Structure 1
Amino acid sequence: MGLLDRCQELFKTSNLYEVFGVAKEATAAEIRRSYYKVSLKVHPDRAPEDPLATEKFQVLGKLYAVLSDAEQRAVYDEQGVVDEESDMLSQDRCWEDYWRLLFPKITVQDILEFEGKYKGSDEERQDVIQLYTQHQGDMDAITASALCCSQEDEPRLCDIIRSAIKNGEVTSFPAFTQESERKKKARRKRANKERREAEEMQKEMGLDDQDDSLVMMLQQRQRSREQGFNSFLSDLEAKYSKKTGKSQKGQRGKK
């Protein structure tokens, strides 16, 4: 059975872009990010209840390999076919190793170092403005999606948004400019609840180390917000994992 036929059988579509939930015009970074999120859902270690998880995971790796290669993607876009004889789609390839090469595990130290560089940077500013536009000024959604964001960061994020509105960079959405005090208090209440739950869990599990505490806080934040793969760790791992694809491409080119 060909790759596209297997894709249809496993994911109910043979359209590679539909599998990853992106548009045909998606950038390489958007496809990479979507591949991470979709593949994480069927990762064999995280979806043991799915008997087809391993095969789905392998097929997703092949689909991403096609879309991440400029030549292969161009052929697929123009002709709707994939070159299954190419080295990148070799049956002997370990797709788990390929996935981990793209997305190395993020350590606590990585998080702390990234947070120190990210907060207050132009990159953070651009991300916040993008989230503001995407969610049309809804601060609940913005604070839930922003990287490295805690309740203490909200005033700073609001300042970024107000400045962008004043400069004419973004639209002035009523959801932001006219947000009620009741909604703000509800958001603070949720944040405080998350913090207390994380602290209680930390005590119950006897975690005294700062690194363990941070990990526990992030895990609790993910559960409380019920955002699954939009959690801080997922976003950070997908967006800032080490880029080692060049070596793979170089090896592929040596035929």
Structure 2
Amino acid sequence: MGLLEDCRDLFGSSDLYEVLGVPLSSSEAEVRRGYYKTSLQVHPDRAPQDPQATSKFQTLGKVYAVLSVAEQRAVYDEHGIVDEESDTVKEGRDWDEYWRLLFPKVTLQDIVNFEQTYNGSDEEQQDLLRLYRDCSGDMDQILDSALCCGPDDEPRVRHILQAAIDGGDLPALRAFTHENRRKKAARKRKADTERAQSEQLKKELSLDEVNDLSSVVKRRAASREASFSSLISSMEEKYCNNKPAKKK
């Protein structure tokens, strides 16, 4: 059987984008993220209870391999067909090795290094300006969605956004400029709670000042699982840009 037939039998759809859980308009990074998330669910090591896990994992590798090559993706988008004879989907490829080449493990130190270079950077500023627009100026949503940010970062984030408003780079949205005092108070209580948790964690782990940043990351992993997952996803995009050897 061909790739499209395998997708239909294993995933209930012959639409490559639907198999990865991403829309047709997805960017290369979004397709990559869809492959990563979907393949984790069926990886043989993570889904030993699924007798078809290996076949699903291999098929997902082929799907991503097709959509990651611009020429092949264009042919599929226009005609709905896949070149089964191409090296991209050949049966002899080690799909587990291919996956590990694309997604080497992100370590805690990678995250710490990323935070140190990201905070205060032009990239962070542009991300915050985008979040301000996407979240319509709601600070709760902005802080929850921003990378490497917790309640303690609010004064710094607010300063960046206010400077952009004053400079004409952002509109003055009422949700930001006239925020309800109770929302501010709730965030302050959350910041106080997380600060206390961080201090307690440092005591439990006997951490010194050199390891403070690591403790913050660990604390965020426990108390802000969704944001930490977002950080991991972004780290993977930044540190896992390796391409298969043929495409270099």
Normalising TM by the smaller chain, what interval? 0.7 to 0.9
| CA distance in structure 2 between the aligned counterparts of 1:71 and 1:99, rounded to whole angstroms | 21
**What amino acid sits opposite 1:244 in the alignment?**
N
| Structure with greater Cα Rg | 2
The answer to whether the Cα contact below 8 Å between 1:165 and 1:172 also exists between their aligned partners in 2 is yes
Alignment gaps of 5+ in structure 2: none
Give the residue type in structure 1 aligned to 2:5. Answer: D
Describe the superposition over 1:34-77 as per-residue Cα deviations: whole angstroms up to 9, x where unpaired: 33233334434444555544433322221111111011101101
Over residues 161-188 of structure 1, what are the superposed CA-to-partner deviations in whole Å (9 max), with x where a residue is unaligned? 2233334434443332332222223233
Q: Report what 1:161 is aligned to.
A: 161
Q: Find the residue that maps to 2:156 and give its secondary structure.
A: helix
Separation (CA, whole Å) in 2 of partners of 1:53 and 1:229: 27
1:38 aligns with 2:38: yes
1:111 offset after TM fit, Å?
2.3
Secondary structure of 2:71's aligned partner: helix
Kept in 1, the 8 Å contact 2:98–2:244? The answer is no
4+ aligned runs moved over 6 Å, structure 1: 209-213
CA contact (8 A) 2:220 2:228 kept: no
Q: Which residue of 1 aligns with 2:103?
A: 103
Kept in 1, the 8 Å contact 2:4–2:14? The answer is: yes
Instruction: Give the aligned partner of residue 145 of structure 1.
Output: 145
Distance change in 2, residues 1:47/1:199 (3 Å): farther
Deviation, structure 1 residue 213: 7.1
1:135 corresponds to:
135
Of the candidates 220, 239, 242, which is equivalent to residue 241 of structure 1?
A: 239
CA distance in 2, matches of 1:212, 1:163: 32
Tell me the residue number matched to 2:231.
232
- 1:91 counterpart residue number: 91
**2:25 matched residue in structure 1:** 25
Pairs within 5 Å for 1:69-80? 69-80=69-80
Sort the Cα spacing of 1:12 and 1:126 in 2 relative to 1 into closer, same or farther, 3 A: farther
Q: Structure 1 vs Structure 2: percent identity of aligned residues?
A: 53
The corresponding residue for 1:178 is 178
- Classify 1:159/1:40 alpha carbon distance in 2 versus 1 (closer, same or farther; 3 Å): farther
Amino acid paired to 2:162: R
Q: Contact (CA 8 Å) 1:218, 1:233: kept in 2 or not?
A: no
1:222, 1:232 within 8 Å by CA — same for their partners in 2? Answer: no
- Give the conservation status (yes or no) of the 8 Å contact 2:104–2:240: yes
The 1:179/1:168 distance shift into structure 2, 3 A limit, reads same
Deviates more, 1:36-45 or 1:94-103: 36-45
Task: Report how many residues are paired.
Answer: 248
Q: Aligned pair in 2 of structure 1 residues 117, 92: CA closer, same or farther (>3 Å)?
A: same
Which TM-score applies when normalising by structure 1?
0.80
Distance of 2:107 and 2:4 partners within structure 1 = 36
* Counterpart in the other structure of 1:253: none
The whole-number CA distance in structure 2 between the counterparts of 1:241 and 1:127 is: 18
Check 1:229–1:121 CA distance in 2 against 1; reply closer, same or farther (3 A cut).
closer
Alpha-carbon displacement from aligned partner over 1:129-170 (angstroms, at most 9, x marks no partner): 222222222322222222221333222222222233334434
Residues 1:45 and 1:79: Cα distance change in structure 2 (over 3 Å): same
The answer to whether the 8 A contact 2:39-2:57 is kept is: yes
- CA drift of 1:87 comes to 1.2
